[in-house]
Amino acid sequence: MTAIFGAIGTIAIIINLFLKGLTIENLLDGLKDIAGLVVVIAVFLIANKLFRKDAKPDFNLLFEKYLKDWISQNDYLVDDNFDEEGKGKFKKRYCSMIIDHTNMVTQNKIVKTAAPRTEKAAFVYLPYPDDEGKQKDEFGIQVQRKDICSTGKIYGKW
């Protein structure tokens, strides 16, 4: 709309200039009108850019980004397996946690070198595609301890 009215305004100023005659006074009046029109268009464009509603951030992408940052700072505790094939029927992506929680204090072992199933287990399950290929926005968090057989699980949908 701004471009259309800007073009109409500019054409009107030029036609008015020719109708009044090409004198110095009329040229300066036309220049003043065009400058005013340019200022109005510039203010509109700046305001439009400032107040434009951006798309909502993707929670899944942000969660994964911050999770990866946290994992990189805690490689003695948690391992990122995001690029592996995944687990179960839906090939859920996950990250592993060392199950000997004394390692949180000692930091003797890095999870990447820990043996699967005996020294580390799935910790966070990430969203995955279902049977129809639609993204299931489910996160699963489970904490397992070496000395306890049970697993605490928390699942949530966003």
List per-residue pLDDT tens for the chain, 158 residues long.
667 777 787 788 878 878 888 888 888 887 888 888 788 888 888 887 777 777 677 888 888 888 888 888 887 788 876 656 666 666 778 888 888 777 777 877 777 778 777 788 877 888 877 778 787 777 777 777 665 544 445 444 44
Residues β-bridged to residue 94:
125
Helix axis angle, 2-20 to 24-51, nearest 10°: 170
pLDDT of residue 30: 79
Q: How far is CA 128 from CA 24, 88, 95, 132, in A?
A: 71, 11, 13, 11
| 147 vs 150: CA distance, rounded Å | 9
Boundaries of every domain in the chain: 2-51, 59-157
| 74 vs 103: CA distance, rounded Å | 11
3-state SS assignment for residue 116: strand
pLDDT of residue 80: 76
> CB neighbours of 121 closer than 8 A, spacing ≥ 6?
96, 97, 99, 142, 144, 151
Single-letter code of the amino acid located at 71? I
Helices (H), the chain: 2-20, 24-51, 59-73, 103-106
